[in-house]
Copies of this chain bind each other. A is one copy, B any other.
Amino acid sequence: MDKYKRNERLAVMSQVLADNPNRIFTLSHFCEMFGAAKSTVSEDTAILSRTLKEFGIGTLETVTGASGGMRFRPMTQPGTGRRLLENICDQLKTPGRILPGGYLYFSDILSDPTMVRGMSRVIAAEYYEKSIDFVLTMETKGIPVALMTAEALHVPLLIARRSSKVYEGSAVNINYVSGHGGIETMSLSRRAAREGSTALIVDDFMRGGGTARGMISLMEEFRCRVEGICFVLSTESSEQRLPVCEKSLMVMRENGRGETPDIVVGDWVK
């Protein structure tokens, strides 16, 4: 007789998988946890997979091969991401968010854990199949979204700094032209990235693309490949395209000073 009931096993597996998105678990992992036979856990997995799909929570896949097992990927059902972002667009369009100079205040959204988690999952869903080794962001405002994207992909986060810090060890520094035309510096610890790795760049906002181009140059210095770049928000007038395929969760059409901007969800979001 099994030590635990099926409903107990499913409750626990569900928690463990929710806590560890995109991480591969072997069947044996759960067999040991529950003192149950492989056939039992295999059947549990099938039920769990079907149920999580039915409720639009995510995809539980079987991974074959030597390092095989199962892998959970949250919120990959069409519609879920788009609805979430439409809600955020509505919030961004509320009056009072336009600051002097025509800037949009959205720092609160960029550090609200619930909204950040949702946005990060939409981003992660686009890159699950791309063998990303790490997520790179530039301090400061993009860090929350980048962190949770890294969590969803089960990879580390690397944070480029505006200047090299003594507690980062030896660092690679590059200069780049910022959106405002000035020369700025970007620094990343030498030990942060391994040559030949694949990076996903995640940042909060793109207008001119200067910082993004800086991060691409930085990755060249580390001999890492940039698979993609994803922004939370970009302006429609971001005319200077980047050398790497870029995506933006939301796109802003500026209406001139002081007016509420029109913000829409990126076309690619399912």
B-binding residues in A (CB < 8 A): 4, 6-8, 10-20, 33, 47-48, 51-52, 54-55, 57-58, 74, 99-101, 103-105, 107-108, 111-114, 116-117, 139-141, 143-144, 147-148, 150-151, 154-159, 161, 166-169, 189, 191-192
CB distance from A138 to the nearest CB of B (A): 10
Q: B48, A11: Cβ atoms under 8 Å?
A: yes
Residues of B within 8 Å of A48, CB to CB, are 11
CB closest chain-B residue, reference A137 = B111
CB distance from A14 to the nearest CB of B (A): 4
> Interface residues of A: mostly helix, strand, loop or mixed?
helix
The one of B12, B20, B157, B166 in contact with A51, judged by C-beta atoms closer than 8 angstroms, is B12
Q: B11, A47: Cβ atoms under 8 Å?
A: yes
The one of B7, B52, B148, B191 in contact with A47, judged by C-beta atoms closer than 8 angstroms, is B7
Cα–Cα, bound, A18→B18 (Å): 6
Q: A111, B14: Cβ atoms under 8 Å?
A: no
CB closest chain-B residue, reference A143 = B143
Cα–Cα, bound, A103→B50 (Å): 50
Residues of B within 8 Å of A12, CB to CB, are 14, 51-52, 55, 57
Cα–Cα, bound, A108→B33 (Å): 30
Given A113-B151, A147-B111, also A8-B47 (CB < 8 A) = yes
Cα–Cα, bound, A13→B168 (Å): 42
Q: A144, B157: Cβ atoms under 8 Å?
A: yes
Top 10 A-B pairs, shortest CB-CB distance: A113-B151, A18-B18, A14-B14, A7-B7, A111-B157, A10-B11, A103-B167, A11-B14, A139-B140, A8-B51
Cα–Cα, bound, A47→B52 (Å): 19
CB closest chain-B residue, reference A144 = B147
The one of B19, B112, B159 in contact with A18, judged by C-beta atoms closer than 8 angstroms, is B19
CB distance from A225 to the nearest CB of B (A): 20
Cα–Cα, bound, A161→B159 (Å): 16
Q: A113, B156: Cβ atoms under 8 Å?
A: yes
The one of B6, B14, B113 in contact with A15, judged by C-beta atoms closer than 8 angstroms, is B14
What are 9 sample pairs from A and B whose C-beta atoms fall under 8 A apart? Answer: A8-B10, A8-B47, A8-B51, A15-B52, A33-B55, A108-B156, A113-B150, A113-B155, A139-B140
Residues of B within 8 Å of A113, CB to CB, are 147-148, 150-151, 154-157
Given A139-B139, A157-B113, A157-B144, also A107-B168 (CB < 8 A) = yes
CB closest chain-B residue, reference A152 = B113
CB distance from A212 to the nearest CB of B (A): 17
Q: B52, A167: Cβ atoms under 8 Å?
A: no
